[in-house]
Amino acid sequence: MAGRAGALAGWVALAAVGLISLAPLAALLAQPGQWPQSYALGVLHFTLWQAALSALISVGLAIPLSAALVHRRFAGKQVLLALLGAPFLLPVVVAVFGVLAVWGRSGWVASLLGLPIDIYGLPGLLLVHVFFNLPLATRLILQGWALVPPEHLRLCAQLGLGWRGQWRVLGAPLLRASLPGALLVVFLFSVTSFAAALILGGGPGATTVELAIYQALRLEFNLGGAARLALLQLAICRVVGILALRFARPVGFGAGLALADISLPRARWLVWGDRAILVLAAAFLMLPLLAIVLNGLAGLPDMPAAVWAALARSLGVALGSGALALCAAVALAALLLRLHSRTARGVEAGVMLSLAASPFVLGTGLFILLNPVIAPARLALLLTGLINAVLILPILLRLFIPALAQIAADYGRLSAMCGLTGAARLRHVTLPLLARPLGLGMGLAVALSMGDLGVITLFAAPDSGTLPMVMQRLMGAYRGNAAAGAGLVLVSATLALFYVFDRLGARYGHRI
């Protein structure tokens, strides 16, 4: 019975994801209106141009950074590797504030040089996107390096291959396999970036598609124009998402014996180049984080009381969204493992493409559906949590599918022999072994929902927003100190939640 109940839960979760994804699309297609052709073309051009530049710069810088991390052994290497994960958990609005504090008109760099620096528009968007995507691209390339058997490195060292030989034998094949996927993933994230465009973009020459959707809905109430722009955004994301799934393939260097780490010989000028790259990358990532902490501490006394109410709303949305995403992801993962391999791959690819659906596309469709029936502002927090849960599903599935498959392979037969089925097997076998990915998944889902500044801006009234929305409004009102304090509260709560759930999973779980 429990098996049937689990299968039913999986089908219900799949149907819910399909409904939430397809109903807004149907609403967008049915909405009457004309394409704002000249305006849409300009917005589309800027969106694709800034995303392409962000991808090229981020991946271009990630190549030497990943090579330096692979070839160099130094004190603090693990700290730097951990730092590469920090931007992923950092709320975008807080990261934008940190970048402005360092690179803005009155930022640290401008004060040091004695020159005014204007980073609004394209330069600011590129800075923020590189801040977020450089660590991501570096991680993607490092995953390829991790698949290189240590024996290959030992053989290169024994043969005395110089940097040209190392590049021909290892570097070039690795990059040919990993770069297309990395470029497309970074491009997709840059296309769907809203908070950075809202704060740093704007104006006729620096408006992205998502910012144009926001302006059409909230400023002009042009439902037809918003629907057409959302369809344009959806088409871009779907194409890029399909290409990313097509090109993001593992590197085939063969199997190894997991020998000790072997460093490749490097010319002296390459060694100094590696050191310079590591120092510059660490400074680029750490300075905005340091600015967030220092300015936030100074701005805590200036925070309005609205910050604490907004924090409570953010916590409620994040915890609800995380719990919903976790339940749906586990049910879907268990269902996919029951299905035929080809069917499971097709269903998983369809769910994965929901990552390519911008929250603004889903939010716009839901706004159009609900507006004739109920004021969308009354459901702002509920809809925000729901859409955030759907959009984190692809990442959670990548955590749970391999874990559940490994549990079934290692303990399935033994559980059957012991008569453990249904709820008893779930309690004594599955949950303890799945606790680690459950904790990590809940931490990721809650952290990403805490920092969301997307869907909430479409629905929430001025006095009912989440903490990122309050912080953005404080920045728009030139209350920098109050915004800095709110940013520190937001990032502290986000990192604390991630740490708590991750540690709970590690404490109560067992290694698979």
HEC profile of 177-211: HHHHHHHHHHHHHHHCCCHHHHHHCCCCCCCCHHH
* 492: its two tokens: 């502290």
How many angstroms separate the Cα of 378 from the Cα of each of 175, 260, 361, 381? 49, 58, 20, 8
Q: What is the mean pLDDT of residues 412-423?
A: 70
pLDDT at 278 over 80: yes
pLDDT at 151 over 60: no
Task: Identify whether the C-beta of residue 179 lies closer than 8 Å to the C-beta of residue 243.
Answer: no
CA nearest to 374, candidates 459, 314, 317: 459
Greatest Cα pair distance in the chain: 75
More confident residue, 119 or 54: 54
pLDDT at 74 over 50: yes
Vertex 162 angle, CA 159 and 166, to 5°: 85
Q: Mind listing the domains of the chain with CATH numbers?
A: 1-30+301-512 (1.10.3720.10), 45-251+268-291 (1.10.3720.10)
Task: Identify whether the C-beta of residue 186 lies closer than 8 Å to the C-beta of residue 137.
Answer: yes
**In Å, how far from its chain's centre is CA 59?**
16
pLDDT at 1: 40
How many angstroms separate the Cα of 184 from the Cα of each of 61, 139, 240, 357? 15, 14, 6, 14
pLDDT at 253: 44
Q: Mean of the per-residue pLDDT values for the chain?
A: 79
Place of tokens 């030139």: 478
Task: Identify whether the C-beta of residue 175 lies closer than 8 Å to the C-beta of residue 141.
Answer: yes
**Through-space distance between the first and last CA atoms of the chain, rounded to whole angstroms:** 26
Task: Identify whether the C-beta of residue 92 lies closer than 8 Å to the C-beta of residue 466.
Answer: no
Task: State whether residue 196 is helix, strand or coil.
Answer: helix
pLDDT at 4: 67
Neighbours of 471 (CB within 10 A): 31
pLDDT at 148 over 50: yes
Neighbours of 498 (CB within 10 A): 21
CA nearest to 66, candidates 146, 154, 183, 164: 146
pLDDT at 346 over 80: no
The radius of gyration of the chain's CA atoms, rounded to the nearest angstrom, is 24
Task: Identify whether the C-beta of residue 123 lies closer than 8 Å to the C-beta of residue 231.
Answer: no
Please state whether 435 falls in left (phi above 0), alpha (psi between -120 and 50) or beta: alpha
Task: Identify whether the C-beta of residue 233 lies closer than 8 Å to the C-beta of residue 360.
Answer: yes
pLDDT at 456 over 80: yes
Task: State whether residue 504 is helix, strand or coil.
Answer: helix
Neighbours of 208 (CB within 10 A): 28
Handedness of CA 355, 359, 361, 366 (dihedral sign): positive
* 82: its two tokens: 């951990």
Greatest mean pLDDT among 337-341, 347-351, 376-380, 462-466: 376-380
CA-CA distance, 394 to 248, in Å (whole number)?
15
pLDDT at 364: 82
The confidence band for 104, taking pLDDT boundaries of 50, 70 and 90, is: confident
**DSSP letter assigned to residue 426:** I
pLDDT at 70: 73
The values of phi and psi at residue 119, to 5°, are -105, 5
Place of tokens 């470029």: 183
Q: What is the mean pLDDT of residues 48-65?
A: 91
Neighbours of 300 (CB within 10 A): 15
pLDDT at 255: 42
pLDDT at 321: 93
Q: What is the mean pLDDT of residues 198-207?
A: 76
More confident residue, 512 or 172: 172
The values of phi and psi at residue 259, to 5°, are -75, 175
pLDDT at 260: 40
- Global pTM reads 0.80
**In Å, how far from its chain's centre is CA 245?**
16
pLDDT tens-place string over residues 82-98: 777 777 788 888 888 89
CA-CA distance, 386 to 89, in Å (whole number)?
19
